[in-house]
Amino acid sequence: MVTGDNIVTARAIAVLCNIIKPEQMDDERCCMEGPEFYEKMGGLVVRGDKEEIGNFKLFKESMPYMKVMARARPMDKYLMVTGLRQMGAVVAVTGDGTNDAPALKKADVGFAMGITGTDVCK
């Protein structure tokens, strides 16, 4: 779950949706904020004509545990999609705002949220 909500709200919603268990709420491997995620993963690097995760080894090691990203900025969402695709995963993203557009475009499948979604997102 990737959200712009604060970490407390994100954790609570994740528990209610059975994304994480209550005992995982304070596990930093499961729940972290976007800027911390971006920094830990080494950001986005460009090698030739490819965008890659700066610390791809850590990214791969973290993905089995990572369940919730809160306070996610557009660059954090984009980094997550880039890393998952670099791992060979098929990635779907939903979004409704202009800030979601880069991740929507990078994903294999992008779902723009209809009525309230921005034109850029659609």
Rg over alpha carbons for the chain, rounded to the nearest Å, is: 14
Residue 111 has pLDDT above 90, yes or no: no
- Distance, CA of 28 to CA of 65 (rounded, Å): 9
pLDDT of residue 101: 81
pLDDT value of residue 113: 76
Sorted by where each begins, the domain ranges of the chain are 7-73
- Tell me the per-residue pLDDT of 56-93, one tens digit each, with 9 for 90 and over: 999 999 999 999 999 999 899 999 999 999 999 999 98
Cα 5 versus chain centre, distance: 13
d(CA 119, CA 110): 14
117 CB contacts (<8 Å, ≥6 apart)?
95, 96, 97
Has this prediction a pTM greater than 0.85?
yes
Rounded Cα distance, 96 and 49, in Å: 29
pLDDT tens by residue, 16-59: 999 999 999 899 999 999 999 999 999 999 989 999 999 999 99
Please report, as a single letter, which amino acid is at residue 89: A
Backbone angles phi, psi at 94, to 5 degrees: -115, 150
- DSSP track, 8-20: HHHHHHHHHTTSS
Q: Output 87 or 98, whichever has higher pLDDT.
A: 87
pLDDT of the residue at 117: 59
| Residue at token pair 């700066």 | 54
